[in-house]
Amino acid sequence: MTTRVRCLAALLCLAACSTTSTVFTSTWKAPDVQAVSPVGKTVAAVFVSPNESRRRSAEDALAADLSARGARGIAAYTVLPNERSYSGDKALAALKQAGANGAVIMRVVGRDQRITYTPGYTVPGPYRGFGPYWGYGWGAVYEPGYLQTDNLVSVETLVYSLTNDKLLWASTSRTTNPKDLDRLVNEVADVTAKEMVKQGVLAP
């Protein structure tokens, strides 16, 4: 393998490791839950954050995702502009008054870093002859090791029926290297919807 090919392979590996990916670390569904279709239902999008700007951006992204799946997604801040002034009962009443049948709540519950070291390497050459070594030496320069740092963000997702105030779904997911908050919300929403369909909580 030439130096150029090895460098390209290392870069491709690094790029692959840097892409966003989301996996579940835990899931739960209500034991008696029936598959629910989002079509025609009004669903509140809630993102728990003390940062109002982040909250609004995330709720807008989540509401848009819910609407794309057939529901009428509404950002909770449009109904509950100052969430801390509401008790749980008052918040529930306000969302139901706004016509919400359900709510999807997301909250970041962890941020970590993972550092991976890939050691350098070289291959022993054919030292017994000048000719064989000449071609090998120029094409097999030592490849230094490198460090890879991944950012891991854990998100808790809860899906409630507001009609009977019941938890239908709960999960914790871990996303590697999210590029920004909106993409994090959209990716978690996407994998959550697919998993809920797989487990019979959400109608396909």
Residue 19 is predicted with a pLDDT of 53
Mean model confidence pLDDT for the chain: 86
Residue 12 is predicted with a pLDDT of 37
pLDDT in tens, 21-39: 999 999 999 999 989 999 9
Architecture of domain 22-115+150-198: 3-Layer(aba) Sandwich (3.40)
Which residue ranges make up each domain of the chain?
22-115+150-198
Average pLDDT estimate for 174-178: 96
The answer to whether 76 and 45 have CB atoms below 8 angstroms apart is yes
The gap from C-alpha 110 to its chain's centroid, in whole angstroms, comes to: 12
Task: Concatenate the DSSP letters of all residues of 132-178 into one string.
Answer: HHHHHHHH-PPBPPEEEEEEEEEEEEEEEETTTTEEEEEEEEEEES-
Instruction: Give Cβ neighbours of residue 44 (< 8 Å, ≥ 6 apart).
Output: 73, 74, 75, 76, 79, 95, 98, 100, 102, 103, 104, 162
Residue 20 is predicted with a pLDDT of 60
pTM above 0.75, yes or no: yes
